[in-house]
Amino acid sequence: MNLLYGRLIDSEDDVEFKKHIPVLSPVNGKVLPLNNYPQKLFTQRMFGEGVALELSGYQVVAPFDCIIEQLYPTSEQLRIKSAQGIRMQIQLGQNPEIMMGNGFKHYAKTGDSIAAGEPILDFNLRKMKDTLNSPLAAITILNSDRLSGIRPHYRQVRSSEDVLMDLYI
């Protein structure tokens, strides 16, 4: 069993921490447990702990002030890093590389500094649903092993308005 499973905490759990970081949702959608994402690399926490999202929007925005560490040319995956050192990965759909970037529009590129709430990319949700095995997104904290805990908020969220998860350092 992977040690990262122990990072998730329930709302009733007490967790000792030095710093609390609320992370706003980068996309609109319904938050689900990461185990709902249909790819073993994510359910086995190879990309860290996090959540799955049933997408309902069309745009990915910066959930916090960040630097774009990696934005694939085919747009299916991006990695960002906050000033506090939080590294987040956003995976749009299962095997979206088959879309070859079709249906995506970039507003940023690797190396750019982006303020919280600014758009990073648009995606065509209808095209994703028609083309991909699963249009679910996976949002993970790549360095979640450095956290005391992660508290996901399983509900409908709006990008840059609602808290997706609370991180405890």
Task: Give CA–CA dist 71/53, Å, rounded.
Answer: 19
Residue 108's pLDDT is 94
Residue 33's pLDDT is 96
Give the pLDDT of the chain (169 residues) as one tens digit per residue.
Answer: 344 445 666 655 566 678 889 999 999 999 999 999 999 999 999 999 999 999 998 999 999 999 999 998 777 789 999 999 999 999 998 776 777 778 889 999 999 999 999 999 999 999 989 988 888 999 999 999 999 889 999 999 999 999 999 999 8
Q: What angle do CA 35, 38, 39 make, to 5 degrees?
A: 95
Identity (one letter) of the amino acid at 15?
V
Residue 133's pLDDT is 83
Going by C-alpha positions, the residue among 77, 87, 25, 78 that lies closest to residue 51 is: 25
* Tokens 């709902």 found at: 36
Residue 81's pLDDT is 98
Domains of the chain, with CATH numbers? 27-168 (2.70.70.10)
Residue 132's pLDDT is 85
